[in-house]
Structure 1
Amino acid sequence: MTIKLIALDIDDTLLSSQGKILPSTLTAIKACLDRDLKIVLCTGRPLAGVKPYLNELGVAGSEQYVVTYNGAVIESITGQVVAKQLIDNGGYRTLTAFAAAHAIPFNVLDENSQIYTANHDVDFITAVQAVENEAGLFIRQPEELPADFAIAKGLFVGTQDLLDGVEDSVRAAFGDDYSVIRAGRNFLEAMAKGVDKGQGLKALGETIGITPDEMMGFGDEGNDLAMFSTVGLAVCMGNGSELAKAHADYITDTNDNDGISKAIEKFVLKA
């Protein structure tokens, strides 16, 4: 199997526990770029939130791509959209009303990396999310936005205990009509039906002529399972959840101990 594309989750995978890219990872990615591999950040973040990491990795040009919003938007790193699936205005309003009725902090991301919330008391997680993604944060009620306002994803946010308590209710209400994914302790996300990282990588591969078996994917959490089931070589970080490890082809070292570079060395550079 020849690897032509490496997909990388960001949080707790590409980034160490200190929120940094390890020097060993930078060296390994440079070696891959020198071999003309595609390096695809595959993440729940919007494009604005991944650009600093692309710059640090040295991933540049219109022939490199990202899978953003957990697969809702696939685009070149220069912003040319390859494919997208959005939630329409009716869905946005329904999700917002449900969150308000159940007192769950909630925000949405549009396809331009902007965050909107109807919560006048902005939840701390939403504020942090806006800072980390370098996104604008707007407090708006649905009626204050255009009738065709669509979203890439909606996020129920809060403490782990809060989301543990409401996750079943959210899935019962929306699981048939949307892709509902628990993206870590503090995020329960809703995207258009069928949207996930795996489908995003498939759509990208079809566009650029790379088959799933020529892809290698790194992740650590439940929202990476669709990616793991799609790529030819699924690599879970040593710090990943037990669920993610159970669905991986290979478990590498942790995000603090050169896990990415060790797996790339084993399966790509020495292959």
Structure 2
Amino acid sequence: MTIRLIALDIDDTLLSSARKILPSTKQAVQAALSQGIKVVLCTGRPLAGVQPFLDELGITGDDQYVITYNGAVIESAAGRVVARHLLDNQAYREITALGKKLGLPTNVLDEHSNIYTADRDVDWWIVEQAAENEAGLFIRDPDELPATFAIAKGAFVGPQALLDQNEPKVRAALGERFYVVRAGRYFLEVMDPLVNKGQALRDLAAVLALSTEDIMAVGDEGNDIAMFDVAGLPVAMGNGTAEAKAHAKVVTGTNDEGGLAAAIRQYALR
């Protein structure tokens, strides 16, 4: 197996617990790029929220790629869209209505990195999400937006206990028609049923004429499992969930002890 593409989750994988890229990680990623290996950030964030990390790592241009919104959009680092799968206005309304019914803080993201919520008392998690991703934040009821308004994903956010309590209800209401995934302790996301990091990775491999056997995927959470099931070499972070580790072939060190850099050096660099 020769690794030709490395797919990297961002939060708690590329980033340390201090939300920084370790020097060892940066060195390993840049070494991979210098050997012609594609390094693709695969994240639930929009491109605007990924751009600072792309810049720091030196991933630039129209021949480098990023998978955003958990797979809803595949685009080049220069912003050229390769593929997109959006949810229509009816889905947006249904997600918003369910959030109100369950008392869950709810927001949706359009493909332009803007966040919309119908919650007049905006939850702290939504505000942080907007700030972290350099996104616009708009308080709008569905009737205030055009019938053509489409979204890349919906998200229920809040304390872990609140999401733990309501996740079965969300899955029961939406799970048969949408892709519902726990993207982290504080995020439960809803997307097009064709969307996940694994499908996006498979689609990008086809564009690049790569075998999925030559892909190494590194992550830590439930939303990374789909790409683990596609990649020839799935690697879970030491700080990852038990579920993620169960789907990996390799478990490396944690995000605070250089686990990502160690995995890249051991399995990808020539």
TM-score (norm 1): 0.98
Give the C-alpha shift of residue 38 in structure 1.
0.7
- Provide the rounded CA distance (Å) in 2 between the counterparts of 1:99 and 1:41: 29
2:27 is matched with 27
- Provide the rounded CA distance (Å) in 2 between the counterparts of 1:104 and 1:40: 32
State the one-letter code of the partner of 1:188: L
Alignment RMSD: 0.7
State the one-letter code of the partner of 2:93: R
TM-score (norm 2): 0.99
- Provide the rounded CA distance (Å) in 1 between the counterparts of 2:113 and 2:213: 31
- Provide the rounded CA distance (Å) in 2 between the counterparts of 1:268 and 1:13: 16
How many residues align structurally?
Answer: 270
State the one-letter code of the partner of 1:242: A
Cα shift readout 1:49-77 (whole Å, capped 9, x = no counterpart): 00000000111111000010000000111
- Provide the rounded CA distance (Å) in 2 between the counterparts of 1:125 and 1:93: 21
1:48 is matched with 48
1:193 is matched with 193
Identity of aligned residues (%): 59
Give the C-alpha shift of residue 194 in structure 1.
2.2
Indicate the SS of the match to 1:24.
Answer: helix
Structure 2 residue runs of 5 or longer lacking an equivalent are none
Tell me if 1:269 matches 2:269: yes
- Provide the rounded CA distance (Å) in 1 between the counterparts of 2:210 and 2:54: 21
Tell me if 1:126 matches 2:113: no
Matches within 5 A, 1:1-271: 1-270=1-270
Structure 1 residue runs of 5 or longer lacking an equivalent are none
- Provide the rounded CA distance (Å) in 1 between the counterparts of 2:65 and 2:200: 11
- Provide the rounded CA distance (Å) in 1 between the counterparts of 2:268 and 2:200: 22
State the one-letter code of the partner of 2:164: D
Give the C-alpha shift of residue 113 in structure 1.
0.7
State the one-letter code of the partner of 2:253: D
- Provide the rounded CA distance (Å) in 1 between the counterparts of 2:14 and 2:211: 23
Could you list the structure 1 runs, at least 4 aligned residues long, displaced by more than 3 angstroms after superposition: none
Give the C-alpha shift of residue 214 in structure 1.
1.0
- Provide the rounded CA distance (Å) in 2 between the counterparts of 1:18 and 1:256: 8
